[in-house]
Structure 1
Amino acid sequence: MSAAAAVAGAALFLWLGMVAAISFLEAPLKFRAPGVTLPIGLGIGRLVFRALNACEAVLAVVVVTALVLGSPPPVAAVATGLAVVALLAQVLAVRPRLTQRSDAVLAGGAEAEKRSRVHFVYLGLELVKVVGLLVAGIAALAG
């Protein structure tokens, strides 16, 4: 295994672990903790996901650089591309809408009473990203 493949695999699985821990464990559990109100939970969520997305961007650069410097199997490159596109969609298209939604909820306006499906879009993109990262990590280390 080349050094580039090892770096790519390590970064991919680190990225995968971070997404799994934050999105599928921390995010839903924080609202069940005693004393965590909706405003506090939304504030924590904004802070945590902003930090997660920044870490993801750094890891994406590391992975893409390692793949460019190495000779990855095509499936690793395609799956990494899928994960990166999902991240970009989240940061550029979905998170701004989630911020608007949380602002409305915190302000208590009429928008707060309506159900939003934006979180489901974000979650769907998280699932796409998880699959992409898993496949890319396995392919990078196997190839």
Structure 2
Amino acid sequence: MSTAAAVAAAVIFVWIGMIVAISFLEAPLKFRAPNVTLQIGLGIGRLVFRALNSVEVNVAIVIGVCLASSPVPAQAIVAFVVAVGALACQLIAVRPFLNRRSDRVLAGLNAPRSRAHYCYVCLEVIKLTALLAAGILLLSG
């Protein structure tokens, strides 16, 4: 395995850890904390997910450069492209709907629950699965 492929695999597994820690642990648990209102939880969530998504974009660029500069299995590239596609869908198609709803809630308005959240979670599962596949394929070589 080349150094670039090893770096790509390592960064992929760091990205997986971020997704699991934030999307599947922090996000649902913050609403169970004492005295955390919907408004406070949404405000925290917006900050955390904006930061996560910014890091994800930069991490994807690093991985892309590594994959482009090293011979790697085609399946690993396909899996990585699926993960990046899921991230792009989250940022371009789903986050604007979630932001509009959270804007209303943060302004004190009563906004109905959004189904866009379920789309975001489904895309998160797709992204996580694709990253896991890409990382395993890179390690297996």
Report the TM range for the smaller structure's normalisation: over 0.9
Residue correspondence of structure 1 range 110-129 to structure 2 within 5 A: 112=111, 114-129=112-127
Counterpart in the other structure of 1:71 = 71
User: Distance between the aligned counterparts of 2:113 and 2:27, measured in 1?
Assistant: 18
Counterpart in the other structure of 1:133 = 131
Counterpart in the other structure of 2:3 = 3
Backbone CA RMSD of aligned residues: 1.0
Q: Which contiguous aligned blocks of 4+ residues in structure 1 show a shift greater than 4 angstroms?
A: none
User: Distance between the aligned counterparts of 1:84 and 1:31, measured in 2?
Assistant: 28
Structure 1: which amino acid aligns with 2:2? Answer: S
- The answer to whether 1:18 aligns with 2:18 is yes
Structure 2: which amino acid aligns with 1:99? Answer: N
Tell me how many residue pairs correspond in the alignment. Answer: 141
Q: TM-score, normalised by structure 1?
A: 0.95
- The answer to whether 1:46 aligns with 2:46 is yes
Counterpart in the other structure of 1:92 = 92
Give the CA deviation at 1:108.
Answer: 4.1
Q: TM-score, normalised by structure 2?
A: 0.96
Question: Contact 2:43–2:106 (CA<8 Å) still a contact in 1?
Answer: no
Structure 1: which amino acid aligns with 2:123? Answer: L
* Stretches of structure 2 lacking an aligned partner (at least 5 in a row): none
Question: Contact 2:98–2:114 (CA<8 Å) still a contact in 1?
Answer: no
User: Distance between the aligned counterparts of 1:51 and 1:10, measured in 2?
Assistant: 20
Where 1:50 maps in the other structure, the secondary structure is helix
Where 2:34 maps in the other structure, the secondary structure is coil
Counterpart in the other structure of 1:142 = 140
Q: Which moved more, 1:21-30 or 1:98-107?
A: 98-107
Where 1:33 maps in the other structure, the secondary structure is coil
